Structure 1
Amino acid sequence: MLRPPSGTTGFAAVPGRADHTCPTSWDWSARMLRRHKSSLVALVFPPHKEVEMRPSLRRLRTALNWSAGLLLCCASVMAAQGTGTVRGTVTDAVSKRPVDGVSVFVAGTDLGTLTNSLGQFQLNLPAGQVELRVRRVGYGTTSRKVTVTAGEVAQADFEVSQVAIGLDAVVVTGAGASTERRKVPNTVATINTDNLRNAPVVNVSEQLAAREPGVSLLPSGGLAGEGARIRIRGAASLSQPNEPIVYVDGVRVDRSGGWGDYVGTGGGGNPSRIDDINPEAVERIEVLKGAAAATLYGTEASAGVIQIFTRTGSRGAPRFDFTTEQGVSNFPNGRYEPNYGFARDASDPLRSSTRLNSFYGLSLQPYQVFSRPFVTSLFETGYTSNYSGSVSGGTAAVTYYVNGRFQHENGPWGAEQLGPARDFDQRAQGSASLQLFPADNVKIRVNTEYVDAHHETPSNNNNIFGTISVALFGHPERAECFAGSLPTGTGACTIDGNPNSAIGPGNPYGSAAFATERENMQERLRQDAKHFTGSINVAYQPWQALSLEGTLGVDVVNQVSSDFAPFGYNVDNIIGFDPEGYKYLDDRTRREITAEFKATWNRRLGDDFASTFVGGGQGFIAKLEDAAGSGELFPGPGLEVIGAGSLQTSYERFLETVNVGVFGQEQLGYRDYAFLTLGGRYDKNSAFGRTSQGVFYPKAGISFVPTSMPNWGSSGITSRFSTLRLRVAVGQSGLQPGAFDKLTTYSPLASVLGPGLAPNNLGNPDLKPEITTEWEAGTEVGVLHDRAALDFTYWKRVTRDALYPRQFAPSGGFRNVQLSNVGRIDSHGLEINVTGLPVNRPSFSVKLYANAAYLHEIVTSLGGAPPLKVGGSYPRYRNFVKEGYAPNSLFGAKLVQPCSQRPAGATYACLQPGQNPYDLNGDGNFDTDADMLAWLAVPRTLSSMLPIRVDEDGDGDFLDHYLGKSTPDWAGSFGMSATLFRNFELSNVFEYKTGNYTITNLTFAFRNSNAVIGRNSRRAATVEATITNPASTAQQRVDAAKEWLKLRALTPYDGLNQNENGKFLRWRELSLTYHVPGAVASRRLGLRHISFTVSVRNLALWTPYTGIDPELNEYGRGGAGSDLGGIDNNFGEGIDAFGLALPRRITFSTRFGF
């Protein structure tokens, strides 16, 4: 195997990649001969005492030297040229600090390297004059000419200046090969994680959040380890996953989450497999935002592509880096209204003021409203810790990077004194990258990552046995202690009166139904996951114009989830569900193999044109196996296996899909300022129907950079623009149906009469992928010497043949819906990104940024199929997919309104002046105030006071009124980073959503309206106390009845009084870092660097929303099973249903290296 010479390589220098230079052990001057005289091939191996050669290599040397003897004279001439060394340091032009990760390369060649953490680089180059260029994301490109003398060292230092825009940055995703951004006609968002090293982020989801316009993270709540759904430019599909596909170093990885098919939490606490990726090992993230950019990724890419590139080593002595983080977390104050109730008189002994005064030590009067902070009393201060260490380095032949990280979080949901349920997440992560350079034109890279994760969460969200929901539903007037326990006077129950004992039997949180808080805390939800990702990439450059590259990788996830309640967990004798205990177990394994081969051909076409052609093939084999079982009714305590249950069930699901595709792309450049791109991909998927022969996805685009034209800036107008680019792109991508959607299937039946079959899936042999066509146009503008920049994009997308579940005639025997290509979605939007460097001085610099994304989407057609609702038959969720509306629109009940608000010509019922939407006396007319005064002259109950709904379209459906949509028109972020006194760094990030943004506040709909587990909000308790109090006047009751119109919700008023304006502004991140001066770190501490950071995540929230948190979502990542698609996962957004707010997390960290 041939080793490369020092300073020569066949691979482009990519920002953040490894140093490909090698020592001058052998004279490879004949390489230059091959480059300039393609008809001559000569390799000369002069002996060197430091080279230890294997016998096979020695024989190879002999054979090549004999062959080279025919051209010895020419080779000797070239050998005489020799090689020299160029060394230097790259520093910031203002702060004078070294800049690491800078790509230093010879212009017009593939020779290059990267600077280390001290900004240093070394290149061994053929003798002669060369032009060195340096570039890095966030800095302007700089070049200088250097004369290389054989056997000598030339010094070449560079200073680089920060810029707000950079078209020379190299991207890979969507371009097929490493390509400068200026040449790519579509948007490719790049997140450089070096800029986040001091930010309060602990996983990849947080690295993505609030970074790029059009990329939204949808968290489900604030439990430890909860994942977030990802949306890029809204919804591209009605029924298939709207999650982007995710690659790590070219290998597709599991993007799902949740607990498998057989275990659930109620919606929250779902982990994300994306967060298994070690954030410390991530170098950068590239995001393709739609079909116009993702064509080369084919089927499944219409929802976007996220490609994660991990770190590699660079040449040099081993470099060790360590990070330690300690943090605390708390749920925000003021977001949880206390539990309200009111005392009764002696006719209700349980809720009488006499008993309550004894229980709480209060002085209540009958019908007096009071409160207890049941929910917040269960909170505690959470604790987080992260430890990370890495080593990197290498030689000319091998570079390496190894990282290990341990993450531990015990969340702020407490109540552990009540039971074993925990709010807990832990991950042990390891990453390694090895690069081999066996020859000057061969590079081999091996990447591995392994994660061992453990996750626990309490039962939560919209779950009658949820720990959080039961606390929210608690009635303080119902709180009591049972036999064997005594009240403390504070509302707690103790055994034998010992105030230091654990809470004893009782109902101190006033649960009115289902279970007590202590009983629910006996349930344990746990998950253990092992996640491995490995790949090998081989790149070979047989000659300078041609590069060949192959990647083979595998991603394997094995997760075991369990839901366990022990025998006798009904410790307060209230819960009635399987008091003998139960266990549900789900074992999910997913394997995906990625194989890719591509060739890149670069060539000049005369003096003005340059061509780059990329062609290749890609294939994926994904296999999912999910085996589960349950055991209920244990015969006694101490049993924890499903086989011990008296009632046992089993479940199994497996599926395998295969996708293969071939792609090609031609990029033609003219004088380095105009670029035309044409390409396409042909895909075949095992899920396509038998009549579908595959699908072709084309793409085209133009990028024009007028500021690179000769004589640009010679006029007064053009001189104002230091950078200007115009671009337009169009492309297609798609999403395939599920593995079995095309097939006619039957479900097995088991009974005492024998086995049987029942019709399940009708099947559709014509099933094909839905096709998304998208075009985008935009511009990048830099002014003031690129110290201020604007990036603007307009995009438009149409999804045709959208897969939608459709009901066919039940007379055929199949009652289930069947996927069909009948739908269409039309969407368009804007993306704006503004960056500025108003101050850039050695002791003080400021960088500002702001971005915004506008989204408009509409379901144009459902092919005659009826609308579908999130949650199926469950009436509380009002998110619909309905023709003519946004695919996440809300519909529900509406009360009769004044006639002044009724449109002209409408005939539906309305209120005349002085009327109210009641008919309390049952006379068939709307009540006047006088009617209400007469009826409310005596105490009444709220359950007898039914407001009158309206049916505006007269179709008999009182729940079809449009109430808004749960996706905002506008979303984005803004922030700043500053350097103070040279050694301090300050960073802020704010995130916002606004514009026709409606949140379903189901938490307060229940707390305001439900007669059993609700009416415990301040307003509802006050209204009910007033209506039922004999001492209230008739007018007080009338006023309370009118207030009740604003609170009444739930069946038969689903959708009424449960939607609010969800716009918000959140202070997402704040960090302050102190860098110990380099001289102090090295001379006194013996370190390359050391810094200290204090950071805060979710520092503050400003919103008119009165619920718990406008970012809560009932459906977490993968919340509706193992799969990511379906109506619930796609459109179950903006539903606040008994979750926990996003916690505030304060972290103290230290980073150092040597």
Structure 2
Amino acid sequence: MSRRMNSSLVARVLPPHKEAEMWSPLRRLRTVLPWSVGLVLCCASVVAAQGTGTVRGTVTDAVSKRPVDGVSVFVTGTDLGTLTNSLGQFQLNLPAGQVELRVRRVGYGTTSRKVTVTAGEVAQADFEVSQVAIGLDAVVVTGVGGSAERRKVPNTVATINTDNLRNAPVVNVSEQLAAREPGVTLLPSGGLAGEGARIRIRGAASLSQPNEPVVYVDGVRVDRSGGWGDFVGTGGGGNPSRIDDINPEAVERIEVLKGAAAATLYGTEASAGVIQIFTRTGSRGAPRFDFTTEQGVSNFPNGRYEPNYGFARDASDPLRSYTRLNSFYGLSLQPYQVFSRPFVTSLFETGYTSNYSGSVSGGTAAVTYYVNGRFQHENGPWGAEQLGPARDFDQKAQGSASLQLFPADNVKIRVNTEYVDAHHETPSNNNNIFGTISVALFGHPERAECFAGSLPTGTGNCTVNGNPNGPIGPGNPYGSAAFATERENMQERLRQDAKHFTGSINVAYQPWQALSVEGTLGVDVVNQVSSDFAPFGYNVDQTIGFDPEGYKFLDDRTRREITAEFKATWNRRLGDDFASTFVGGGQGFIAKLEDAAGSGELFPGPGLEVIGAGALQTSYERFLETVNVGVFGQEQLGYKDYVFVTLGGRYDKNSAFGRTSQGVFYPKAGISFVPTSMPNWGNSGITSRFSTLRIRLAVGQSGLQPGAFDKLTTYSPLASVLGPGLAPNNLGNPDLKPEITTEWEAGTEIGVLHDRAALDFTYWKRVTRDALYPRQFAPSGGFRNVQLSNVGRIDSHGLEINVTGLPVNRPSFSVKVFANAAYLHEIVTSLGGAPPLKVGGSYPRYRNFVKEGYAPNSLFGAKLVQPCSQRPAGATYACLAPGQNPYDLNGDGNFDTDADMLAWLAVPRTLSSMLPIRVDENGNGDFLDHYLGKSTPDWAGSFGMSATLFRNFELSNVFEYKTGNYTITNLTFAFRNSNAVIGRNSRRAATVEATITNPASTAQQRVDAAKEWLKLRALTPYDGLNQNENGKFLRWRELSLTYHVPGAVASRRLGLRHISFTVSVRNLALWTGYTGIDPELNEYGRGGAGSDLGGIDNNFGEGIDAFGLALPRRITFSTRFGF
């Protein structure tokens, strides 16, 4: 009966030839839920009729004697099991007879005991578990087809248990991932509220396609994009991540597959790694309510922002004269005296955050449930709201629910839903002339005035003059020299509203002990509406020239993805020594993206805020649909529980493959050897020193498909005076196929001192062949755009090291420490004869390139002529003899000596006339092709500790670092040091310019200033010069202190199961030699270079510090309690 009903259920959920119905999750749930209820009612009598008994118990920590929640308690060799609740309690209804119960939890050793179950009676079975630094008995699911103990899996599967992060200063899934696992790197772009981070696992697996890992939630693929859609942009920062829509309070654990060797069974699109998020489920027992309240404040680190510098002039320059500035600021300046004002930090404020979360869970033998609701609110530390309506704001209302039904002992049905309603606002930012922070960084204090064309009297700054909210009428309160004023840019409002639904149903059926089948059907739907609006007359200071009559850009993006999977697992013994596990099944995805947008510019008057009111209107629409179907199989053969051999593969077909490209097969193989499970291991000699030892080796393939239309020849509509027409767009390539990534990894896990200390070591090597890369074909064919081709190759290898220890483990005092490190080396081996590509296209300031023979994000640019002592032997390019400088100021065709410079600088000069001499080392006439470093570090990792003090206090912290050949592009100071109009306002640059132009300076002072200018000159035609710095850093990422009220006090006096209080800090401190704003800043945020996550900019636009906001320090106070 159960089998027929399962088949019927699948048929109802996936009706043939009704694709339109598949896009409605609510309609599908209306179908599923009645059947689920029917299953419960029909099978209730069957459950009651069986001869069953009950096993109850409590799991406690062997040292502290505290209850341990989230422990898996199960019958050995079966799928019968449950989880302990927050009191460490569990209850199982089992068939009568003798069973072996086993308990396991990440971070604890596994233990078991035999229990006799008597029909109609209750048996008691309590367990004590001990903390360990290594656990090979932990079960993983991702990448193994079903579920398997870690000891049997030949590749790396990282597990992040969020129970260990319960008191950590994290507010989203990105922060749950950050600084946890070697090889998993989060790349934030800045410190605006709600800003997401890009994710990289073991560097870059592709040149042109997305390097973001695929993300699953409870077996369903979800939207992993970010940003604002195709038609709205912020300048690069403030981009939300759709992954952060996931409710972090509902996440139970996260599993990460780090590469193709582990992700083979996920097939095409998995070569960049896989992240699988498992949400919480209920357990049997009375309803349990848990609540969390959190209040916090945040602020930007003021010390990272150098004030705006300038210098006074004499009476010949009335605006910048020392007399006006003395009157304006109340100072006592002299001509050419350098002074500063804190324009940027004056726009900061103390941000405020609040989070409220509540959940209820419980259940019976027939059904368990878990429901959670969360409200998150953040008003970030970017202020300036007195200047205009733009805000730094993020708000989410999140809800999730999980329902597990047990209509029979061998049937489990799980229904999961998650929904978020998000609202996000950000000011225009980063490398953007409409960014308020950008214009503030460019401000010149000597140019500041309250009213255009007037020289106000009195002291103070421009925000006074009788109006505490800002200047009256047009003005320039922050000394903007070009583009716009801060007040004008703050009139622009960037807003986004998103609704995100994820739903799934999973049915597991075990007809007999050796065979189990499982099916999952799910949908992920995102509707995201973004807008960029400036009102009529927003040029309040009469400076900005772009559409002063106002504008509105609107982008409506909808993405739907359906996931369907079916698999069967067959377990069997092959004699006394061998055990076989075979997994086979199929998986399919249908992803549909629709992006419709439009704009209206030049409103006829105030009060109009709709696109249709603009005199100049445009429209845009994009539609993509991709289908991927694959079948997979895997055989794992175990010998005496200490040798496990795995063979498997997956065959995929994808709608993006070219017409001549057939499906692709991805194989995998691996072996895991656990010597410590061998008989007589450890009886004598060196073997007795190892409590756990495992050696593993794995190899596998995965792929990445081209874009949906890359294989097709396409044309673009063309409007002309002669009427509508078509223009060539994409050349097309019917031979396009997925790029193939082959990876192998070898590693070992070692536990010593009874597993109180552990080492996990992995070496991996990866080759991506047939890498998709954009090539330019002959324009004479009519197609001028680049075309993707399978011509590239990337070679990479690395190390991952993780050390964990429990040096102290006592009831009143325990300490756990960890440290990890990941080494990365990657090189572009071939581009198939295609030329290099540069991040940012024709914009010359970004110097990140994809170039053969170098790391895929290497930096190239200008260099000055260096002393001959630094020129390699045999080289013939120009160099400096002793006493020479890289100048030819007098124009005699020779490098200047100090005497030449003294003579030329005997009178005041301008910096614009002082051009240093560049070198051309290879003699090809290109002065900008010199290697300057790379923007990814050799080493990255984290370390920290957690401790229990006086039984009831918990202290934990995490440090994160990056180091080794790590170069940051400090474009912020390249502009502030060098640009003649919107720069030269750093302390060093203002001092140099004041010295060079001051008639009172001596010639020697000017010569010294000219030599300092060699260290500051940047930008065209010196792109890359003086803008790159060592970016290594150490950041105190997390610190938290928690007090747990003793259980007796909580229960007897307060009537609560538990209550705790936590104070925590995120981004507490930064140690770095980097002189820019923040070494973790980046111009390109998540999805900021394209909503599809791929492309050269999104993949390799890293390490570009361009007028952003530093990561803020966030201090939070939280209370957790339950009853």
TM (norm. structure 2) is 0.95
Query: Is the contact made by 2:327 and 2:459 (CA closer than 8 Å) also made in structure 1?
Result: no
Q: Structure 1 residues 464 and 1088, CA, compared in 2 at 3 Å: closer, same or farther? A: same
Runs of 4+ in 1 over 4 A off after TM superposition: 32-82, 483-491, 498-504
> Residues 258-306 of structure 1: CA distance to partner in whole angstroms, max 9, x if unpaired?
0000000000000000000000000000000000000000000000000
> How far is the alpha carbon of 1:60 from its aligned partner?
27
In structure 2, C-alpha distance between the alignment counterparts of 1:1127 and 1:45, rounded to whole Å: 38
Q: Structure 1 residues 943 and 703, CA, compared in 2 at 3 Å: closer, same or farther? A: same
In structure 2, C-alpha distance between the alignment counterparts of 1:1056 and 1:70, rounded to whole Å: 71
Q: Structure 1 residues 734 and 518, CA, compared in 2 at 3 Å: closer, same or farther? A: same
Q: Structure 1 residues 430 and 59, CA, compared in 2 at 3 Å: closer, same or farther? A: closer
In structure 1, C-alpha distance between the alignment counterparts of 2:51 and 2:227, rounded to whole Å: 61
In structure 2, C-alpha distance between the alignment counterparts of 1:551 and 1:291, rounded to whole Å: 23
> How far is the alpha carbon of 1:1120 from its aligned partner?
1.3
Query: What does residue 546 of structure 1 align with?
Result: 515
Aligned pairs for 1:747-762 (under 5 A) are 747-762=716-731
> Residues 605-628 of structure 1: CA distance to partner in whole angstroms, max 9, x if unpaired?
111111111111111010111111
> Residues 309-367 of structure 1: CA distance to partner in whole angstroms, max 9, x if unpaired?
00011111110000000000000131000000000000000000000011101010000
> How far is the alpha carbon of 1:134 from its aligned partner?
1.1
In structure 2, C-alpha distance between the alignment counterparts of 1:459 and 1:65, rounded to whole Å: 49
Aligned pairs for 1:89-100 (under 5 A) are 89-100=58-69
Q: Which moved more, 1:49-58 or 1:873-882?
A: 49-58
> How far is the alpha carbon of 1:69 from its aligned partner?
27
In structure 1, C-alpha distance between the alignment counterparts of 2:29 and 2:991, rounded to whole Å: 93
> How far is the alpha carbon of 1:757 from its aligned partner?
1.2
In structure 2, C-alpha distance between the alignment counterparts of 1:562 and 1:73, rounded to whole Å: 51
> How far is the alpha carbon of 1:114 from its aligned partner?
1.6
Determine helix, strand or coil for the equivalent of 1:64.
Answer: helix
Say which of 952, 973, 979 aligns to 1:983: 952
In structure 2, C-alpha distance between the alignment counterparts of 1:494 and 1:838, rounded to whole Å: 58
Q: Structure 1 residues 606 and 225, CA, compared in 2 at 3 Å: closer, same or farther? A: same
Q: Structure 1 residues 924 and 282, CA, compared in 2 at 3 Å: closer, same or farther? A: same
Q: Structure 1 residues 494 and 159, CA, compared in 2 at 3 Å: closer, same or farther? A: closer
| Residues matched between the structures, number | 1123
In structure 1, C-alpha distance between the alignment counterparts of 2:340 and 2:611, rounded to whole Å: 42
> Residues 583-618 of structure 1: CA distance to partner in whole angstroms, max 9, x if unpaired?
000000001011111111111111111111111111
In structure 1, C-alpha distance between the alignment counterparts of 2:24 and 2:891, rounded to whole Å: 105
1:157 aligns with 2:107: no
Query: What does residue 799 of structure 2 align with?
Result: 830
Determine helix, strand or coil for the equivalent of 1:485.
Answer: coil
Q: Structure 1 residues 998 and 81, CA, compared in 2 at 3 Å: closer, same or farther? A: closer
Q: Structure 1 residues 1062 and 489, CA, compared in 2 at 3 Å: closer, same or farther? A: farther
Aligned pairs for 1:80-91 (under 5 A) are 82-91=51-60
Q: Which moved more, 1:1047-1056 or 1:502-511?
A: 502-511
Q: Structure 1 residues 346 and 78, CA, compared in 2 at 3 Å: closer, same or farther? A: closer
Query: Is the contact made by 2:440 and 2:478 (CA closer than 8 Å) also made in structure 1?
Result: yes
Query: Is the contact made by 1:34 and 1:40 (CA closer than 8 Å) also made in structure 2?
Result: no
> How far is the alpha carbon of 1:86 from its aligned partner?
2.2
Query: Is the contact made by 1:722 and 1:782 (CA closer than 8 Å) also made in structure 2?
Result: yes
Q: Structure 1 residues 142 and 645, CA, compared in 2 at 3 Å: closer, same or farther? A: same
> How far is the alpha carbon of 1:52 from its aligned partner?
36
Q: Structure 1 residues 524 and 57, CA, compared in 2 at 3 Å: closer, same or farther? A: closer
> Residues 1098-1149 of structure 1: CA distance to partner in whole angstroms, max 9, x if unpaired?
0000000000000001000000121100000000000000000000000000
Determine helix, strand or coil for the equivalent of 1:999.
Answer: strand
Query: Is the contact made by 1:417 and 1:503 (CA closer than 8 Å) also made in structure 2?
Result: no
Query: Is the contact made by 1:1001 and 1:1136 (CA closer than 8 Å) also made in structure 2?
Result: yes
In structure 2, C-alpha distance between the alignment counterparts of 1:585 and 1:60, rounded to whole Å: 32
Q: Which moved more, 1:1054-1063 or 1:59-68?
A: 59-68
> How far is the alpha carbon of 1:73 from its aligned partner?
26
Query: What does residue 163 of structure 2 align with?
Result: 194
Query: What does residue 20 of structure 1 align with?
Result: none
Query: What does residue 7 of structure 1 align with?
Result: none
> How far is the alpha carbon of 1:76 from its aligned partner?
18
Query: What does residue 1021 of structure 1 align with?
Result: 990
Query: What does residue 717 of structure 1 align with?
Result: 686
Q: Structure 1 residues 77 and 914, CA, compared in 2 at 3 Å: closer, same or farther? A: closer
Query: Is the contact made by 2:464 and 2:471 (CA closer than 8 Å) also made in structure 1?
Result: yes
Query: Is the contact made by 2:23 and 2:560 (CA closer than 8 Å) also made in structure 1?
Result: no
> How far is the alpha carbon of 1:108 from its aligned partner?
2.7
Query: Is the contact made by 2:47 and 2:408 (CA closer than 8 Å) also made in structure 1?
Result: no
In structure 2, C-alpha distance between the alignment counterparts of 1:48 and 1:1002, rounded to whole Å: 55
> How far is the alpha carbon of 1:38 from its aligned partner?
23
Q: Which moved more, 1:301-310 or 1:101-110?
A: 101-110
Query: Is the contact made by 1:731 and 1:774 (CA closer than 8 Å) also made in structure 2?
Result: yes
> Residues 150-173 of structure 1: CA distance to partner in whole angstroms, max 9, x if unpaired?
443322211110000000000000
Q: Structure 1 residues 46 and 1147, CA, compared in 2 at 3 Å: closer, same or farther? A: closer
In structure 1, C-alpha distance between the alignment counterparts of 2:594 and 2:16, rounded to whole Å: 58
> How far is the alpha carbon of 1:756 from its aligned partner?
1.3
Q: Structure 1 residues 939 and 621, CA, compared in 2 at 3 Å: closer, same or farther? A: same
In structure 1, C-alpha distance between the alignment counterparts of 2:785 and 2:16, rounded to whole Å: 77
Q: Structure 1 residues 457 and 634, CA, compared in 2 at 3 Å: closer, same or farther? A: same
1:139 aligns with 2:108: yes
Determine helix, strand or coil for the equivalent of 1:355.
Answer: helix
> How far is the alpha carbon of 1:144 from its aligned partner?
1.9
In structure 1, C-alpha distance between the alignment counterparts of 2:132 and 2:36, rounded to whole Å: 52
In structure 1, C-alpha distance between the alignment counterparts of 2:934 and 2:167, rounded to whole Å: 36
Determine helix, strand or coil for the equivalent of 1:854.
Answer: strand
Q: Structure 1 residues 124 and 1034, CA, compared in 2 at 3 Å: closer, same or farther? A: same
Q: Structure 1 residues 526 and 734, CA, compared in 2 at 3 Å: closer, same or farther? A: same
Q: Structure 1 residues 388 and 66, CA, compared in 2 at 3 Å: closer, same or farther? A: closer
> Residues 214-265 of structure 1: CA distance to partner in whole angstroms, max 9, x if unpaired?
0000000000000000000000000000000000000000000000000000
1:119 aligns with 2:88: yes
Q: Structure 1 residues 396 and 1014, CA, compared in 2 at 3 Å: closer, same or farther? A: same
Query: Is the contact made by 1:33 and 1:75 (CA closer than 8 Å) also made in structure 2?
Result: no
> Residues 736-774 of structure 1: CA distance to partner in whole angstroms, max 9, x if unpaired?
000000011111111221011111111101000000000
> How far is the alpha carbon of 1:708 from its aligned partner?
0.6
In structure 2, C-alpha distance between the alignment counterparts of 1:728 and 1:353, rounded to whole Å: 73
Determine helix, strand or coil for the equivalent of 2:924.
Answer: coil
Determine helix, strand or coil for the equivalent of 1:626.
Answer: strand
Query: Is the contact made by 2:207 and 2:772 (CA closer than 8 Å) also made in structure 1?
Result: yes
Determine helix, strand or coil for the equivalent of 2:38.
Answer: helix
Query: Is the contact made by 2:452 and 2:476 (CA closer than 8 Å) also made in structure 1?
Result: no
Query: Is the contact made by 1:486 and 1:495 (CA closer than 8 Å) also made in structure 2?
Result: no
Q: Structure 1 residues 134 and 489, CA, compared in 2 at 3 Å: closer, same or farther? A: farther
Q: Which moved more, 1:514-523 or 1:75-84?
A: 75-84
In structure 2, C-alpha distance between the alignment counterparts of 1:401 and 1:916, rounded to whole Å: 73
> How far is the alpha carbon of 1:50 from its aligned partner?
44
In structure 1, C-alpha distance between the alignment counterparts of 2:947 and 2:319, rounded to whole Å: 61
Query: What does residue 1006 of structure 2 align with?
Result: 1037
Query: Is the contact made by 2:813 and 2:951 (CA closer than 8 Å) also made in structure 1?
Result: yes
Query: Is the contact made by 1:804 and 1:821 (CA closer than 8 Å) also made in structure 2?
Result: yes
Q: Which moved more, 1:539-548 or 1:127-136?
A: 127-136
Q: CA RMSD in A?
A: 5.9
Q: Structure 1 residues 609 and 923, CA, compared in 2 at 3 Å: closer, same or farther? A: same
Query: Is the contact made by 2:327 and 2:457 (CA closer than 8 Å) also made in structure 1?
Result: no
Q: Structure 1 residues 485 and 390, CA, compared in 2 at 3 Å: closer, same or farther? A: farther
Q: Which moved more, 1:710-719 or 1:939-948?
A: 710-719
In structure 1, C-alpha distance between the alignment counterparts of 2:15 and 2:338, rounded to whole Å: 96
Query: Is the contact made by 1:393 and 1:400 (CA closer than 8 Å) also made in structure 2?
Result: yes
In structure 1, C-alpha distance between the alignment counterparts of 2:729 and 2:46, rounded to whole Å: 79
Q: Structure 1 residues 211 and 498, CA, compared in 2 at 3 Å: closer, same or farther? A: closer
> How far is the alpha carbon of 1:127 from its aligned partner?
3.5
TM (norm. structure 1) is 0.93
> How far is the alpha carbon of 1:502 from its aligned partner?
6.3
Q: Structure 1 residues 359 and 672, CA, compared in 2 at 3 Å: closer, same or farther? A: same
Query: Is the contact made by 1:216 and 1:232 (CA closer than 8 Å) also made in structure 2?
Result: yes
In structure 2, C-alpha distance between the alignment counterparts of 1:249 and 1:63, rounded to whole Å: 17
Q: Structure 1 residues 67 and 570, CA, compared in 2 at 3 Å: closer, same or farther? A: closer
Q: Structure 1 residues 869 and 499, CA, compared in 2 at 3 Å: closer, same or farther? A: closer
> How far is the alpha carbon of 1:115 from its aligned partner?
1.2
Say which of 481, 493, 497 aligns to 2:466: 497
1:1100 aligns with 2:1066: no
Q: Which moved more, 1:121-130 or 1:697-706?
A: 121-130
Q: Which moved more, 1:122-131 or 1:96-105?
A: 122-131
In structure 1, C-alpha distance between the alignment counterparts of 2:1032 and 2:87, rounded to whole Å: 45
Query: What does residue 268 of structure 2 align with?
Result: 299
